């Protein structure tokens, strides 16, 4: 009998747990990650610029849409929330089920004391 594995002590949450939580979270391999505080102004500006330009670019496609902050349920233990995505023929209203055509994540390096 060996020593207990570290993974045995990690939580293992599912999408059903995730939908009950308040606040902004992502769930990756059953482990919750808090997505707070809210993004800074520069982050929001970059994401909104991408959103606008992508909407202009796909305006003639009746089956496509550009959305932001929508859950992408990859499986029962992983749900993430990309900044902006382009979806084509997405059948579900509450979360993304198919791989987006384009995924935008804006990441800015800031000092922790700037928040």
Q: Where are the domains of the chain?
A: 7-110
pLDDT interval class at 112 (50, 70, 90): low
CATH code of the domain occupying 7-110: 3.90.1570.10
Please, which contacts does 52-56 make with residues 24 or more away whose CB atoms are closer than 8 Å? 54/84, 54/86, 54/102, 54/104
What pTM did the predictor assign? 0.80
Residue 4 scores a pLDDT above 70: no
Average pLDDT over residues 53-64: 94
Taking the C-alpha atoms of residue 82 and residue 69, their distance in angstroms, rounded to an integer, is: 6
What is residue 18's predicted lDDT score, i.e. its pLDDT? Answer: 96
Place of tokens 């935008």: 104
What is residue 108's predicted lDDT score, i.e. its pLDDT? Answer: 65
- Residue spans of alpha helices (H) in the chain: 15-18, 41-57
Taking the C-alpha atoms of residue 10 and residue 8, their distance in angstroms, rounded to an integer, is: 6
- Decide which of 107 and 15 is more confident: 15
């Amino acid at each position: 009998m060996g020593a207990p594995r570290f993974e045995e002590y990690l939580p293992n949450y599912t999408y059903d747990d995730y939908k009950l939580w308040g606040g902004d979270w992502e769930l990756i391999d059953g482990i919750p990650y808090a997505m707070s505080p809210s993004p800074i102004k520069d982050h929001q500006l970059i994401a909104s610029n991408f959103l606008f330009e992508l909407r202009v670019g796909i305006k003639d496609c009746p089956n496509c849409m550009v959305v932001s902050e929508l859950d992408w349920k990859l499986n029962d233990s992983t749900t993430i929330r990309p900044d902006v995505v382009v979806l084509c023929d997405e059948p579900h209203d509450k979360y993304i089920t198919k791989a987006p055509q384009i995924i935008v994540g804006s990441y800015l390096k800031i000092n922790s004391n700037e928040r």
